[in-house]
Amino acid sequence: MKKFFYLFLAALVCSAEAKAQFSVEDDTKTTKGKVEFVDRVKEMDASADYYSEAAARAERRRIRNERNYLEVNAKLQGSMTSYNDAWTTSRGGDNAMTVLGTFSLKHTFKKGDFTIATDASARYGYNRIKVENESGKGKGIWFKNIDEFWVQTQPAHKIRKNWDMSALIKFRSQFSGTYLSRTEQSDDDVISSLFTPGYLDISVGFTFKSPQPKFPIEISLNPLSTSGAWATNDKVRHYYKDIKGATTWFGIDIDKNSLFTGGSSVNIKFSRKWGKSEWFSYDTNLYCYYGWLTNVGRASKIRRYNHYLKDLKAWESAGSIEANKPTAVPAFVCLHPTIEWRNTISFRASKYFSTDIYLQLNYDKAQNTSVQLYSMLTLGLTYTFKNK
């Protein structure tokens, strides 16, 4: 009986309710969105390299020196002759002194195929010579004999091996007033001054640069060019208009202050130094301009004015009868080519002493119908700075 009881009890235990070890949830409660992780740890460079301000400055300096070339030259030259009374009484001679200061600058910036070259030059000089006055006594008088400056810049972009597309902008004038002569230095004798005249040349064209280092010539051919001249000083106008009776000054109508013309130009440059110490150098610059575009534009006015001059001359030959006097027309003249040629030959005896030969030739029919020529031989101090 006990056996059946234990069997019944065991069967009862086995028939008890069973429960699962996990539960099933509704699928809609599950999040199906994309899980994004946020990394809040900051990155840190663990390499051995570090930034150095000194190294950065050195690199910038290297790039500047590579792209830029600068040369500055300053000279102070002169001459002096002196005689005592015994010498001048027996052999003659006059005491004289000449002082000349010159300054030149050359800068070239190059980056890839683009280049911009800037040149500047200035010359200023005085001399002192004894001049006899009305009483017969000599007196030394200082007189300015050299006064000029010019600045030009030439941007260019290489289009072929030795050819560049370029533009040229050049301005030139003088520093102070120039008088008629050593003994005529009053307000009525001022023949030029600062910006009277002043010249501005602008050209666009092509430049050829020689690939030969021993023959560094540059030739700029500018089919489109313009040349402007202006004059504003009233003292200079008074000299030309009231004293000289001229109808133009520096190619400008006497009652106007400026004149701009159009045409073509050619610019040729050559600069070379010889020897390890550069003891000998030659520098030349030739600039030619012809305002043919302006001549074509006002051809009819030029013909009309030439006919008027012929009629006026015939009227004067016929007795200048007032009733037959030809009617005046505005003055228009044909523009002629202008030439400016500068040459400098230098012999350097040492680092600070040099001898220079300077020759300049100008032809500008608006100023003078003849060729203007100026030359000078000087000896003196010199200093040159180069960045490389």
What is residue 183's predicted lDDT score, i.e. its pLDDT?
A: 87
Mean per-residue pLDDT of the chain: 87
Q: Say which range, 10-14, 241-245, 287-291, has the weakest mean pLDDT.
A: 10-14
CB 120 within 8 A of CB 104: yes
Give the single-character DSSP code of 196: B
What is residue 333's predicted lDDT score, i.e. its pLDDT?
A: 86
How many structural domains comprise the chain? 1
Which tens digit of pLDDT belongs to each residue from 90-104? 777 778 889 999 999
For residue 28, is pLDDT > 70?
Answer: no
What is residue 29's predicted lDDT score, i.e. its pLDDT?
A: 53
Nearest to 281 by CA among 215, 214, 348: 348
* Average pLDDT over every residue of 193-210: 96
**Is residue 35 one of the residues assigned to a domain?**
no
Q: What share of the chain is helix, strand, coil (3-state, %, to 5)?
A: 20, 50, 30
Q: Omega of the bond prior to 197 within 30 degrees of 0, cis? A: yes
**Is residue 204 one of the residues assigned to a domain?**
yes
**Is residue 23 one of the residues assigned to a domain?**
no
Distances 293 to 182, 204, 262 between C-alpha atoms, Å: 41, 15, 5
Which tens digit of pLDDT belongs to each residue from 211-253? 999 999 999 999 999 999 999 999 999 999 999 998 889 989 8
Nearest to 151 by CA among 108, 195, 106, 206: 106
Which pLDDT band holds residue 14 (cuts at 50, 70, 90)? Answer: low
Rounded Cα distance between 192 and 180, Å, is 9
**Is residue 15 one of the residues assigned to a domain?**
no
For residue 174, is pLDDT > 80?
Answer: yes
What is residue 114's predicted lDDT score, i.e. its pLDDT?
A: 95
Share of the chain above pLDDT 90, in %: 58
Other beta carbons within 10 Å of 139? 11
**Is residue 324 one of the residues assigned to a domain?**
no
Which tens digit of pLDDT belongs to each residue from 303-348? 999 999 999 999 888 888 888 888 888 888 899 999 999 999 999 9
Which tens digit of pLDDT belongs to each residue from 350-382? 989 999 999 999 999 888 889 999 899 989 999
The full length of the chain comes to: 388
Which pLDDT band holds residue 2 (cuts at 50, 70, 90)? Answer: low
Rounded Cα distance between 28 and 33, Å, is 12
Considering only residues 344 and 25, tell me which one the structure prediction assigns the higher pLDDT: 344
Which pLDDT band holds residue 16 (cuts at 50, 70, 90)? Answer: low
* Average pLDDT over every residue of 274-286: 93
CB 123 within 8 A of CB 149: yes
For residue 191, is pLDDT > 70?
Answer: yes
Q: Say which range, 51-60, 113-122, 155-164, 292-301, has the weakest mean pLDDT.
A: 51-60
Domain extent, residue 256, equals 68-291+335-386
Q: Say which range, 70-74, 155-159, 175-179, 328-332, has the weakest mean pLDDT.
A: 328-332
Other beta carbons within 10 Å of 53? 7
Burial (Cβ within 10 Å: 0-12, 13-18, ≥19) of residue 42: exposed
Identify the helix (H) or strand (E) that includes residue 199: strand 198-209
Q: What are phi and psi of 335, to 5 degrees?
A: -80, 140
Rounded Cα distance between 215 and 209, Å, is 10
**Is residue 82 one of the residues assigned to a domain?**
yes
**Is residue 281 one of the residues assigned to a domain?**
yes
**Is residue 249 one of the residues assigned to a domain?**
yes
CB 221 within 8 A of CB 227: no
What is residue 189's predicted lDDT score, i.e. its pLDDT?
A: 94
What is residue 387's predicted lDDT score, i.e. its pLDDT?
A: 87
